Amino acid sequence: MSGKFADRMQSVHKSFIREILKVTEDPSIISFAGGLPNARLFPVQEMARAAQKVLAENGEAALQYSTTEGYLPLREYIAGRYARSGLNVDPDDILITNGSQQGLDLLAKAFLDRGDGVLVERPTYLAALQSFGLFQPVFHSLTLHEDGVDIPQLEKALHEHHPKIFYSVPTFQNPTGITYSMDKRREAAEALDGQDAIFIEDDPYGELRFRGQSLPPMKSLLGDGSVLLGTFSKIISPGVRLGWMVASPEIMEKAIIAKQASDLHSSCLIQRVVHQYLLDNDIDQHISRIRAAYGSQRDLMVKMIEDLFPKEVKYTRPEGGMFLWLTMPEGISSLDLFHRAIKEKVAFVPGQAFFADGSGDNTMRLNFSNSDEEKIEEGMRRLSKVVSAMV
Amino acid sequence: MSGKFADRMQSVHKSFIREILKVTEDPSIISFAGGLPNARLFPVQEMARAAQKVLAENGEAALQYSTTEGYLPLREYIAGRYARSGLNVDPDDILITNGSQQGLDLLAKAFLDRGDGVLVERPTYLAALQSFGLFQPVFHSLTLHEDGVDIPQLEKALHEHHPKIFYSVPTFQNPTGITYSMDKRREAAEALDGQDAIFIEDDPYGELRFRGQSLPPMKSLLGDGSVLLGTFSKIISPGVRLGWMVASPEIMEKAIIAKQASDLHSSCLIQRVVHQYLLDNDIDQHISRIRAAYGSQRDLMVKMIEDLFPKEVKYTRPEGGMFLWLTMPEGISSLDLFHRAIKEKVAFVPGQAFFADGSGDNTMRLNFSNSDEEKIEEGMRRLSKVVSAMV
């Protein structure tokens, strides 16, 4: 009966990462594979108090149907937070979504016809490839340098392919941890100026900076030519599945139609609980605790690489986020390495999954947010042995 | 810049009902327009206790990322509940979704290429037209009699159009309140036997039966040839945005891929809270309170029609659900009537929105679940005046 499924389903498969994560469920394996925040930093008690308050004070409204746009006080809070960092956003330009992942699906629905061009970084966020992939676009990959996308390649691709979308994670990218420099932000904005392509700025990690100076979002340079995606997943909890999209009124109208058709609206109970949590707690203090923890975990992981890994292995030194990215000499397969690593009870994600063009066989992603120092030391010791034996 | 949007966005517009609901926000208007459950019947305190327990006992897991399929104990609970009513379902055949609405989106993604045929009832659930509509199928409408779909039309459409999907709400349909009789269920199942079309059985209201005998779901007759959609929206709360899909392993695989690309998974916090609520409370007792309330509201609304409306106006007498359906003599426009009714401070949904083929101008949907008896009496008195003046 598979002839009955839509064409789009033939080209997509179960997430490779998902399958890998199943392998790593064995508790004896130290896993740097997932992309999980550290659960010990979740504000569990504060969320419980917020839930009590919402249900005691506005229980019926919290449990009833609500508007597609999302809970207005929450959208006002988000707008206020952007205002503090210099980005002027109207609450009406914000749509509440189920994590920023749903933003990708809604934008794909709004923009992509089969065969349309989509520019992505090489490598890029795997689940964006999956979201967009269901709408059967043609992906064009752009080289990602240590300070951001390759500008001549971007200019050429814009002119040659007239893409509908340029998708990017310009700050602490998943998978590489790379951040666009200020110069690169300006150059990319100039290249995009006057083009039809919408710049989708996926920013789940921007608040997780543990050193260096904050940079303005691309949206502050691009205005209506961009859509900014944010999320509470990395600063409060991914289990609430709550994110948002910032877009111009014209795009917002289409996104709301798509959201309505997708699931009517995001849970208003969850929206009100998160809003109550934000009202009653100091989120900046909470985020600074996360930053401090991830910063020292990152430092330890980098130090273990410096101390134990062959010098031929290159790695990124991110100033924030949750990931390190390793590049081994050409010819070393990280998938081979993965199978050997599993035998040594340590896991990571082979990098190839993050490349739209199937390259990147010699790369790997390491997550440092979800392992304490003891696990990082022991896990990196195990991994260094496997890498040293292959390089 | 609208040239950049996808083709699919040109044919869809903001929900008509959504726009109507905005008109009816005026608190002096008595509204039978929405499709809302009665918020006074929501188990607010019980949900608060469930939230406390989940966050106290499993807070970190509830706030972390989780599996796409959904929380296994919740899926086991749902399977157990189906087993009680004679439907044998494996928990692995259940996918947790954001309301049953998301099930429509996932199935559209899994099945529909542009131009594929979709059979719907005339009239049908408006938001299903919107969900499927984004994937640009061709809708074929089948006459809906008081005991279900017209079988010869169904047979003819299956052979002529080779549709991918037949979408139906066979029990207490939205908008009409009509339920397929047992004979009609068997005849429809026979017509579908051996055909490629998947029967999507949307069942949000099945538990809301206030008289007559329960009928088996179409899935018990059709097996793997059908997908059954359920929801907690009408028996616990729509604000939790939690529903589910029951499908064969082959379809489930595609639905999981689509769900993953759409939003990774539904909120595990909400899933655990609803599951805890179900463990700690007697849901059947709760549902019987809802049934009793909606049953007497329905009876009163029917009585008001009998007493006050012109005899030329036909109406359904549903044994459950949330809606009545009125058909006026040909030539009477319910949209004209709507504008006059608003002036008299009473609202309903003009029926045309529920017809894929644009017919139904002389019909209207009345919701009885969300109005108490006083409002039903006064609102129906106002409406009867407007109707009597036109018929």
pLDDT tens-place string over residues B182-228: 999 999 999 999 999 999 999 999 999 999 999 999 999 999 999 99
Q: Which amino acid is at B214?
A: S
Contact list in A for residue B60 (CB cut-off 8 A) is 39-40, 42, 44
Residues B39 and B49 in one domain: no
Residues A178 and A244 in one domain: yes
Domain-located, residue B2: no
Say if the Cβ atoms of B44 and A36 lie within 8 Å.
Answer: no
Domain-located, residue B85: yes
Q: How confident is the model at residue B13 (pLDDT cuts 50, 70, 90)?
A: low
Alpha-carbon gap, residue B27 to B23, rounded angstroms: 10
In chain A, the percentage of residues whose pLDDT exceeds 90 is 92
Q: Show Cβ contacts of residue B372 under 8 Å, excluding neighbours closer than 6 positions.
A: B297
Q: E strand or H helix at B145, and its extent?
A: strand B138-145
Q: Picking from A26-35, B55-64, B114-123, B225-234, which range would have the lowest pLDDT averaged per residue?
A: A26-35
Domain-located, residue B3: no
CB hemisphere CA count around A186 (13 angstroms)? 2
Phi, psi (deg, nearest 5) at residue A299: -60, -45
pLDDT at B2 over 80: no
Contact list in B for residue A265 (CB cut-off 8 A) is 241
Phi, psi (deg, nearest 5) at residue A220: -70, -20
Decide: A150 and A142 in contact? Cβ < 8 Å.
yes
Contact list in A for residue B257 (CB cut-off 8 A) is 9, 12-15, 130
Which pLDDT score, from 0 to 100, does residue B207 have?
97
Mutation choice for A interface testing from B241, B268, B271, B370 by most A CBs within 10 A? B241
Which pLDDT score, from 0 to 100, does residue A188 have?
98
Section A360-376 average pLDDT: 96
B314: β partners: B327
Which pLDDT score, from 0 to 100, does residue A85 have?
87
pLDDT at A19 over 80: no
In this complex, the residue of A4, A7, A130 whose CB is nearest that of residue B260 is A130
Which pLDDT score, from 0 to 100, does residue B30 have?
95
Domain-located, residue B207: yes
Decide: B111 and B252 in contact? Cβ < 8 Å.
no
Question: Is the C-alpha dihedral spanning A299, A300, A302, A303 positive or negative?
Answer: positive
Domain-located, residue B111: yes
Report the DSSP pairing between strands A363-367 and A349-350.
antiparallel
pLDDT at A372 over 50: yes
Report the DSSP pairing between strands A94-97 and A243-246.
antiparallel
Report the DSSP pairing between strands B198-202 and B226-231.
parallel
Q: How confident is the model at residue A2 (pLDDT cuts 50, 70, 90)?
A: very low
Residues B157 and B35 in one domain: no
Section A291-298 average pLDDT: 98
pLDDT at A240 over 90: yes
Which pLDDT score, from 0 to 100, does residue A340 have?
96
Give me chain A's average pLDDT, please.
95
Say if the Cβ atoms of B109 and A134 lie within 8 Å.
Answer: yes
Domain-located, residue A35: yes
Residues A129 and A245 in one domain: yes
Contact list in A for residue B109 (CB cut-off 8 A) is 6, 8-9, 134
Residues A299 and A254 in one domain: no
State the residue range of the domain holding B323.
10-43+285-390
Residues B237 and B150 in one domain: yes
Section A206-218 average pLDDT: 96
CB hemisphere CA count around B363 (13 angstroms)? 19
Give pLDDT tens digits for B130-140: 999 999 999 99
In this complex, the residue of B47, B264, B270 whose CB is nearest that of residue A101 is B264
pLDDT at A1 over 60: no
Which pLDDT score, from 0 to 100, does residue A69 have?
96
Residues B255 and B311 in one domain: no
Domain-located, residue A340: yes
Alpha-carbon gap, residue A196 to B341, rounded angstroms: 46
pLDDT at B89 over 60: yes
Q: How confident is the model at residue A68 (pLDDT cuts 50, 70, 90)?
A: very high
In this complex, the residue of B4, B34, B64 whose CB is nearest that of residue A238 is B64
Minimal-distance CA residue of chain B relative to A261: B131
Residues B172 and B259 in one domain: yes
Which pLDDT score, from 0 to 100, does residue B177 have?
97
Contact list in A for residue B63 (CB cut-off 8 A) is 39, 42, 44, 47, 236-240
Q: Which amino acid is at A43?
A: P
Contact list in A for residue B254 (CB cut-off 8 A) is 5, 9
Residues A357 and A223 in one domain: no
- Domain count for chain B: 2
Which pLDDT score, from 0 to 100, does residue A103 have?
98
Minimal-distance CA residue of chain B relative to A133: B261
Phi, psi (deg, nearest 5) at residue B382: -60, -45
Residues B235 and B355 in one domain: no
Residue B74 DSSP one-character state: H
Of the three residues B225, B250, B280, the one that is the final residue of a domain is B280
Å from B308 to nearest chain A CA?
A: 32
CATH code of the domain covering residue A105: 3.40.640.10
Q: What is the ipTM of this complex?
A: 0.96
Closest CA to A324 of A180, A207, A174, A120: A174
Contact list in B for residue A241 (CB cut-off 8 A) is 263-267
Residues B194 and B293 in one domain: no
Closest CA to B268 of B60, B79, B43: B60
Å from A148 to nearest chain B CA?
A: 26
Å from B52 to nearest chain A CA?
A: 6
Of the three residues B280, B300, B326, the one that is the final residue of a domain is B280
pLDDT at A354 over 90: yes
In this complex, the residue of A15, A257, A268 whose CB is nearest that of residue B14 is A257
Domain-located, residue B57: yes
Q: How confident is the model at residue A201 (pLDDT cuts 50, 70, 90)?
A: very high
Say if the Cβ atoms of A111 and B267 lie within 8 Å.
Answer: no
Give pLDDT tens digits for B255-268: 999 999 999 999 99
Helix, strand, or coil here: A51? Answer: helix
Residues B63 and B155 in one domain: yes
Which pLDDT score, from 0 to 100, does residue A26 have?
84
CATH code of the domain covering residue B23: 3.90.1150.10
Of the three residues B256, B280, B304, the one that is the final residue of a domain is B280
Structure tokens at B69: 């399929």
B120: β partners: B141
Å from A17 to nearest chain B CA?
A: 12
pLDDT at B1 over 70: no
pLDDT at B328 over 60: yes
